[in-house]
Structure 1
Amino acid sequence: MSVDQQDDAPLRERIQENPGPALKWFAGALLLFSFEAGAVINFLTGLVGAPVDLPTLLTRDLIANNGYQTPGGAWKETFLNLAPAYAWAIRVVLVYAYAFIWMLWLWRGYLVFREHYRYADWTPRDDMVDRLRGHRWGQFGAVIVFGFIVLALFAPALGPTTVERTISNPYSHHIEYYNDQGQLENITVGSANLGSRSQGTPDRNVGPMQYDDFGRFHPFGTLPTGKDMFTFMAAGARVSLFIGLISIGVSGLIAVAFALLTAYYKGLVDLAVVIVGDSIMSLPRLLFVMLLSVVLGETWIADIYSGGFVLALIFAGTGWPFLWRSVRGPAMQVSEQEWIDAAKSFGQRPRVTMQKHMAPYILGYLLVYASMTLGGIIVAVAGLSFLGLGINPPTPEWGRAVNIGQSYVTTSSWHISFIPGVMIVLVVTAFNALGDGIRDAIDPQSEGGESDGAEVAASGGGA
């Protein structure tokens, strides 16, 4: 095969020419996936209302932290009979180690592609990756975002208990403990929660890194209802990530499609999209989102993922003009390049021109503004939950925890509002930092500056 033919060959044909490196990498990825394949199947079947319970490697059944302490101080029914705090910590370390190995293996896949299957020995993307690897602020954001995503993806394994046991259906589950008379008793989780409530006084408070009277370990303490707060926060992270990714994905597709169309055709097409986009942007977005949340709250679509799906669609429908404005300029710039005129003169179809020659140029900018907008969506979702809108109770959400604990800020139960508030600020800052790093990697001349589009994105598109 000649060099020109090789350059034009799709990736599939290049892999067929030299399948060895790709097969080795895929075998390693398949092995890593097999450890947690059951968790993926459990989550997907749970979304359609027919959950199954397949075993996985990193589960609380294998590394159990729910047990009871004998009068002599020994722990029973925990992993290696360790204290629940240590058993839980071991599971957390293993989960994050597993996720970190996945990240290393994905990086290895990029190196395999670059070494064996890429057209050229060097591309501008290599310089962008190198600049991002040296961007300390962006690396800080990447580390926090990584921790947040792992917390959301592995929420059932990371929590010291489960949402089903402590939040959704606590009176259908039981725990054992030794009472003051040294007798082993059986009590429902719901009843135990009533004795583990954090309500602002020293005798009614289970703070961070403490055990309750029933031998249960609470890394973040408990809520005023006695429910475990870490489990609440981990499940809430999954809800926030789901809403953010769905809304960013849908609004990003709309924004890219309109940016390519307006840049390629200009004229009336551009004018029509400008009018529609500006009309949506002129609305007070937060009030509009609140209105739609109430109006659509009684429809069948609001039952999907406890209202998370309809909320994601609302954010996507009201947020795409902000992303479109951010990528419209780069799309207009690339549409004026000579190779676009050459493609038109040779009779190349508009869809092919936009897909092959225009879209790759603006995807980097979309990634920058999408990462910043995602932080704004998390804040907006938390704000709606704080106001009692959006996610349907009792589904966990960070903003609801802030609302629940606001009357305990100056008491012994300060952790109820403080911890979720700090996590919201930290995660939103991390997404903005990651966006800054990606922006500076794409365009080194912008380092230290901030464009108007980035400011809009960082604020969640006005939300």
Structure 2
Amino acid sequence: MEEPTSRFDEDSTLRSRLEADPEPALRWAAVMAALALVQIGSLLGGLLSILDAAVVGVTAIFDVLFGLVGLTGASAAVVDVQSALSGAVTTARDAAEGLPTLLSRETIPNQGHLASADGPWVDTFLGLEPALAWAVRVLLIVGYSLFTFYWLFRGWLVFRAHYRQADWTPTDDMIDRLRDHRWGQFGIFVLALFLIMALFGPALGPTTVSQNIVSPYSHEVTYFNADAGAVETVAAGDANFNSKSKGAGDQNVGPMTYDNFNRFHPFGTLPNGRDLFTFMMGGARITLIVAGLAIGLSALIAGGLAMVSAFYGGNIDLTLLTTADGIVSVPRLLLLIMISAIFANHWLAGVLDGGFLLALIFAFTGWPFLWRAVRGPALQVAQEEWVDAAESFGQPPRTIMRKHMFPYITGYLLVYASMSTGGIIVGLAALSFLGNGLGITPPTPAWGRAVSLGQSYVSGPSWHISFIPGAMIVVLVTGLNALGDGIRDAIDPESAGGDDDEAAAGGGA
């Protein structure tokens, strides 16, 4: 393995390098600060959602461990701490999402009504039609987000060019190859779009989950009633009741159309009259949070166990192999259903509307797939000379694994983790599709539930109810597999154009 070459003095610190040439860093930081201020409320809301999930995850682990050893008092205390911390984070998140931002619904409103049969539109951005006002906001949010992602990558390029101690590292070649990998770039683009949905879902939708799905009878809709010839007000729930898509007669509000209450629906409506686009944006956040938690924990377990089994071998490796085979031998969907039923009344089932429990189940039933995938590279690196040299110099096993083994298997872990994430998303959708207490708890949006609601109308005018959520799931899973292919080819150029055995090993639900 070629060693990185240094262009700075070995004793220099990052701070000293920044002080010697501050201009590139200041230029990048100024633009980044401006981008953050533009959407500070939405960004903080997304970050606090991740923090809330992390708080719940850490406290849940301690709760389970204390419960296993019979420390019920400590377990109850952990639950109290979890409730307090999660409540504080939720309050902060709600406050952050309430901050006015440049690209918010309040700044570029699309919910308005006709003043008369011939117009004009009232309460919309610049008096535009709701469809045009909504499109302006969506285009600005997507453009802003894509540029922000690029600028974050630009920050790494600035660091590499001006402040990194090493003149070259193997990562440079991997990044350069990925920048020329069109299939991998497609995966990055798809993942970026769905991350935008998760982060800015409330602003992207023509309405909000609260107004249209969770508590529609607590909000009102103003519209022009053509029959009465006057502007009237109705509860959003009543407007939904009269905007159903059931494929019979005039009971259908298809994609890119208005209902009778002057509301624009980019994806049409559901059989209960709720806006499908808003439903999908709400589902994107919970789907990516659950999938991210599941694959993160699964990768942590698989990577750690792979290094342990490769370093020690013998009975430890055999025990892990037997355990992994035992878990894999049981159909994964059956395991998901069984464990979900067992923990149905546990407090974990209420966290993230059931999503956190599902993330734990996916993680603890999915790590054998990742472990099998990275066990080979871990065994290979464990036999390298630099590992033997580190051991001969008296370095402890934990240090050897962290410094000399983990960097080698990280790339392989990223490849198989990105491919396995698709299986988690499909499994989550399948559970929500089955219903009966499985999957994400209603009324929180879930993609699989939308597919289930529309399965009776696939061949009729209301085809959009099942087709659009199903197509989005397919696009996201395909994008994740494309990203995995791109990372694999960037790590090992000789694998480009090879067979798809690695993709098949991604592991589904």
Instruction: Name the residue aligned to 1:227.
Output: 274
Instruction: Name the residue aligned to 1:58.
Output: 103
Return 104-113 or 24-33, whichever deviates more. Answer: 24-33
Q: What amino acid is aligned across from residue 32 of structure 1 in structure 2?
A: L
Instruction: Name the residue aligned to 1:371.
Output: 418
Shift of 1:137: 1.6
In the alignment, does 2:456 pair up with 1:407?
Answer: yes
Q: What amino acid is aligned across from residue 160 of structure 2 in structure 1?
A: R
Partner secondary structure for residue 129 of structure 1: helix
Partner secondary structure for residue 215 of structure 1: coil
Give, in whole Å, the separation in 1 of the partners of 2:21 and 2:343. 53
Query: Quick check: 2:104–2:203 contact (8 Å CA) kept in 1?
Result: yes
Shift of 1:123: 2.6
Q: What amino acid is aligned across from residue 493 of structure 2 in structure 1?
A: P
Instruction: Name the residue aligned to 2:286.
Output: 239
Query: Quick check: 1:162–1:231 contact (8 Å CA) kept in 2?
Result: yes
Give, in whole Å, the separation in 2 of the partners of 1:136 and 1:307. 37
Instruction: Name the residue aligned to 1:30.
Output: 33
In the alignment, does 2:137 pair up with 1:88?
Answer: no
Give, in whole Å, the separation in 2 of the partners of 1:12 and 1:262. 39
Instruction: Name the residue aligned to 1:257.
Output: 304
- Structure 1 unpaired stretches of 5+: none
Give, in whole Å, the separation in 1 of the partners of 2:127 and 2:242. 25
Instruction: Name the residue aligned to 2:57.
Output: none
* Partner of residue 138 from structure 1, selected from 166, 184, 192: 184
Return 42-51 or 352-361, whichever deviates more. Answer: 42-51
Partner secondary structure for residue 221 of structure 2: strand
Query: Quick check: 1:325–1:453 contact (8 Å CA) kept in 2?
Result: no
Query: Quick check: 1:243–1:308 contact (8 Å CA) kept in 2?
Result: yes
* Partner of residue 77 from structure 1, selected from 102, 114, 123: 123
Shift of 1:364: 0.7
Q: What amino acid is aligned across from residue 75 of structure 1 in structure 2?
A: W
Alignment CA distance shift 1:336-1:113 (3 Å) = same
RMSD in angstroms over aligned alpha carbons?
2.0
Give, in whole Å, the separation in 1 of the partners of 2:252 and 2:176. 49
Shift of 1:274: 1.7
Shift of 1:332: 1.1
Instruction: Name the residue aligned to 2:206.
Output: 160
* Partner of residue 423 from structure 1, selected from 452, 463, 472: 472
Partner secondary structure for residue 268 of structure 2: coil
Deviations 1:347-382 (A, max 9, x none): 122222211111111111111111111111111101
Instruction: Name the residue aligned to 2:73.
Output: none
Partner secondary structure for residue 247 of structure 2: coil
Q: What amino acid is aligned across from residue 110 of structure 1 in structure 2?
A: W
Query: Quick check: 1:202–1:412 contact (8 Å CA) kept in 2?
Result: no
Partner secondary structure for residue 274 of structure 2: coil
Q: What amino acid is aligned across from residue 59 of structure 1 in structure 2?
A: S
Give, in whole Å, the separation in 2 of the partners of 1:415 and 1:376. 24
Q: What amino acid is aligned across from residue 89 of structure 1 in structure 2?
A: A
* Partner of residue 398 from structure 1, selected from 447, 450, 463: 447
- Structure 2 unpaired stretches of 5+: 53-85
What is the percent sequence identity of the aligned residues? 56
Q: What amino acid is aligned across from residue 253 of structure 1 in structure 2?
A: L
Give, in whole Å, the separation in 2 of the partners of 1:363 and 1:15. 29
Give, in whole Å, the separation in 1 of the partners of 2:241 and 2:177. 53
Shift of 1:14: 4.7
Shift of 1:291: 0.9
Give, in whole Å, the separation in 1 of the partners of 2:13 and 2:422. 36
Alignment CA distance shift 1:355-1:4 (3 Å) = farther
Partner secondary structure for residue 39 of structure 2: helix
Give runs of aligned pairs for residues 329-348 of structure 1, distance below 5 A.
Answer: 329-348=376-395
- What is the TM-score normalised by the length of structure 1? 0.94
Instruction: Name the residue aligned to 2:158.
Output: 112
Give, in whole Å, the separation in 2 of the partners of 1:142 and 1:246. 19
Give, in whole Å, the separation in 2 of the partners of 1:254 and 1:119. 32
In the alignment, does 2:172 pair up with 1:123?
Answer: no
Give, in whole Å, the separation in 2 of the partners of 1:36 and 1:453. 39
Shift of 1:134: 1.8
Partner secondary structure for residue 233 of structure 2: strand
Give runs of aligned pairs for residues 168-179 of structure 1, distance below 5 A.
Answer: 168-179=214-225
Give, in whole Å, the separation in 1 of the partners of 2:6 and 2:338. 59
Q: What amino acid is aligned across from residue 121 of structure 2 in structure 1?
A: W
Shift of 1:251: 0.7
Return 117-126 or 89-98, whichever deviates more. Answer: 117-126
Q: What amino acid is aligned across from residue 6 of structure 1 in structure 2?
A: D
Give runs of aligned pairs for residues 172-251 of structure 1, distance below 5 A.
Answer: 172-179=218-225, 180-251=227-298
Shift of 1:279: 1.7
Query: Quick check: 1:440–1:447 contact (8 Å CA) kept in 2?
Result: yes
Instruction: Name the residue aligned to 1:454.
Output: 503
Return 401-410 or 441-450, whichever deviates more. Answer: 441-450
Alignment CA distance shift 1:342-1:16 (3 Å) = farther
Q: What amino acid is aligned across from residue 24 of structure 2 in structure 1?
A: P
Give, in whole Å, the separation in 1 of the partners of 2:188 and 2:364. 28
Give, in whole Å, the separation in 2 of the partners of 1:3 and 1:138. 30
Instruction: Name the residue aligned to 2:112.
Output: 67
- What is the TM-score normalised by the length of structure 2? 0.86
Shift of 1:11: 4.8
Return 263-272 or 337-346, whichever deviates more. Answer: 263-272
Give, in whole Å, the separation in 1 of the partners of 2:128 and 2:8. 62
Deviations 1:282-334 (A, max 9, x none): 22111001111122122111111100111001100111111111111111111
Instruction: Name the residue aligned to 2:362.
Output: 315
Query: Quick check: 1:211–1:218 contact (8 Å CA) kept in 2?
Result: yes
Give, in whole Å, the separation in 2 of the partners of 1:247 and 1:186. 44
Partner secondary structure for residue 154 of structure 1: helix
Deviations 1:74-99 (A, max 9, x none): 10001111100000001101111111
Q: What amino acid is aligned across from residue 115 of structure 1 in structure 2?
A: A
Give, in whole Å, the separation in 1 of the partners of 2:207 and 2:12. 51
Query: Quick check: 1:301–1:309 contact (8 Å CA) kept in 2?
Result: yes
